[in-house]
Amino acid sequence: MRFLTSVFTAVVSTLNLTNAWTSLPQTGIRIGVLKQTSHVFSSSSVSSSLSSNENGPVVDESEYDMSLFSPCKINLFLRIIRKRPDGFHDLASLFQTVAFGDILHLKLQNENEAQEDAFECNMAGVPTDKSNLVLRALDLVRSKTGNEDKFFKANLLKQVPAQAGLGGGSGNAATAMWGANELLGRPATLDQLVEWSGELGSDITFFLSEGTAYCTGRGEIMTPVAPLEDGTKVCIVKPDIGLSTPAVFKALKYDQLSTADPEVLLKRFLDHGAVDAGGADAYINDLEQPAFDCLPELRRLKEELCNVEGFDHVMMSGSGTSIFCIGEPANWDSFMDNFGNREGLSVFPTEFTSRKEAVWFQPNL
């Protein structure tokens, strides 16, 4: 079983693990640490204590200028509107940040010693060359602000899995943009960061919002909306198997797309909140059909989760393969026996989170 605590809502150390939800029963549940890492957090900043990889090198946080949380997201609804002439798709989606994510340690290096960025990541398989979105984000801020002689040292501690529909890489890029701008003395406004972020990828713009946003176009056109209620419980269940976004779109059947008006859906969520927005008529993801056709076991997983007492809504996030559940199980022991102990599944309990104006996302302690 792999049941990981949220870095946003948990205090984790090598000797002490605190669960992300205080209501989660402790007896009989084994808790896994953030993907081969250990941390101690304070409410204002990540402390300068050592962060260590269970099977890797120790990270001394005191070597960095700042340590930032990098949240991931879920899509409360996702409508595919049309295929565009350029091969991309216009979509309309309500994005929400959740208190589960990664940590980015960042330092502005001495300009007399560094001629390039230095980058490390704890998760196997994550590229550490210029293809990584963190390095591309640092490049972008550097070039846009005219700081070509400034270089950074970055260490990314990841637990958000790839090909999950959670936007982990996009969140990392947005976090790197924010952090680089801070360390350079804020040469760019938030509006400029938002404008530039679209050059890196579709979802990155969203992570520069305050946590809730209506996104259109390829996802890069962001309309901030009133934040949904912080603390709304979410349980993310992620099969080990992933799906590439291109593969999902290739399997899309346009005659099976929903006809629901996305602006009507948006109004329902804003008026009534995530729990009371409605059922399957509000929680719509047009990418479930192609994802489920590619992986029928993903459909079966959703059907199983729909039968768990205590979950108000169950839906796949983004292009998958994560399934998110609004609410929390009425019987945690039974839920963990069925899902938490199942080979090939990871369970991430978390909650809605947002950030305050002019500050980055903070841990929910």
DSSP characters over 165-225? SS-HHHHHHHHHHHHHHHHTT--S-HHHHHHHHTTT-TTGGGGGSSSEEEEEETTTEEEE-
Query: What is the pTM (predicted TM-score) of this model?
Result: 0.85
Expressed in angstroms, the distance from the first to the final Cα of the chain is: 25
- Asked if residue 232 has pLDDT above 80, the reply is yes
Provide the β-strand partners of residue 12: 17
Residue 119 tokens read as 């980058």
Query: For residue range 98-128, what is the model confidence (pLDDT) as tens digits?
Result: 999 999 999 999 988 789 999 999 999 999 9
The enclosing H or E element of 77 equals strand 66-83
Mean of pLDDT values over 181-195: 97
Q: What is the pLDDT of residue 317?
A: 97
Q: What is the pLDDT of residue 16?
A: 29
Interatomic CA distance for residues 114 and 142, integer angstroms: 14
Mean of pLDDT values over 247-256: 96
The answer to whether residue 360 sits within a structural domain is no
- Asked if residue 41 has pLDDT above 90, the reply is no
The answer to whether residue 128 sits within a structural domain is yes
Provide the β-strand partners of residue 41: 46
296 is in which domain, residue-wise?
2-351
Give SS3 for 2.
Answer: strand
- Asked if residue 215 has pLDDT above 80, the reply is yes
Amino acid identity of residue 160, one-letter, is V
Give SS3 for 136.
Answer: helix
High-pLDDT (> 70) share of the chain, %: 83
| Mean predicted lDDT score pLDDT of the chain | 86
Question: Phi, psi at residue 220, to the nearest 5°?
Answer: -90, -10
Q: What is the pLDDT of residue 364?
A: 64
The answer to whether residue 361 sits within a structural domain is no
The answer to whether residue 72 sits within a structural domain is yes
Residue 90 tokens read as 């216009």
The answer to whether residue 362 sits within a structural domain is no
Q: What is the pLDDT of residue 112?
A: 81
- Asked if residue 160 has pLDDT above 80, the reply is yes
CATH of the domain at 93: 3.30.230.10
- Asked if residue 363 has pLDDT above 80, the reply is no
- Asked if residue 20 has pLDDT above 90, the reply is no
Mean of pLDDT values over 238-243: 93
Are 72 and 171 in contact by the 8 Å Cβ rule? The answer is yes
Mean of pLDDT values over 132-142: 98
- Asked if residue 266 has pLDDT above 60, the reply is yes
- Asked if residue 24 has pLDDT above 50, the reply is no
> Where does residue 18 rank: exposed (0-12), middle (13-18), buried (19+ CB within 10 A)?
middle
Mean of pLDDT values over 178-206: 96
Q: What is the pLDDT of residue 168?
A: 96
Non-local (6+) Cβ contacts of 281 within 8 A are 260
The answer to whether residue 158 sits within a structural domain is yes
Mean of pLDDT values over 194-219: 94
Q: What sign does the CA torsion over 7, 10, 11, 12 have?
A: negative
Number of domains in the chain: 1
The answer to whether residue 357 sits within a structural domain is no
122 closest CA partner among 189, 39, 195: 39
Residue 78: CA count within 13 A, CB half-sphere: 22
- Asked if residue 325 has pLDDT above 80, the reply is yes
Q: What is the pLDDT of residue 46?
A: 35
* DSSP 8-state symbol, 139: H
Mean of pLDDT values over 253-263: 97
Q: What is the pLDDT of residue 102?
A: 96
Question: Phi, psi at residue 18, to the nearest 5°?
Answer: -110, 130
Residue 110 tokens read as 């001495």
Task: Name the one residue in this structure whose structure tokens are 């002019």.
Answer: 358
- Asked if residue 27 has pLDDT above 50, the reply is no
Q: What is the pLDDT of residue 362?
A: 85
Mean of pLDDT values over 291-302: 97
41 closest CA partner among 17, 18, 12: 12
Q: What is the pLDDT of residue 202?
A: 84
Alpha helices per DSSP H over the chain? 133-144, 168-183, 190-197, 245-250, 262-276, 288-294, 296-306, 332-335
- Asked if residue 170 has pLDDT above 60, the reply is yes
Mean of pLDDT values over 47-68: 66
High-pLDDT (> 90) share of the chain, %: 77
- Asked if residue 28 has pLDDT above 50, the reply is no
Residues in the chain: 365
The answer to whether residue 363 sits within a structural domain is no
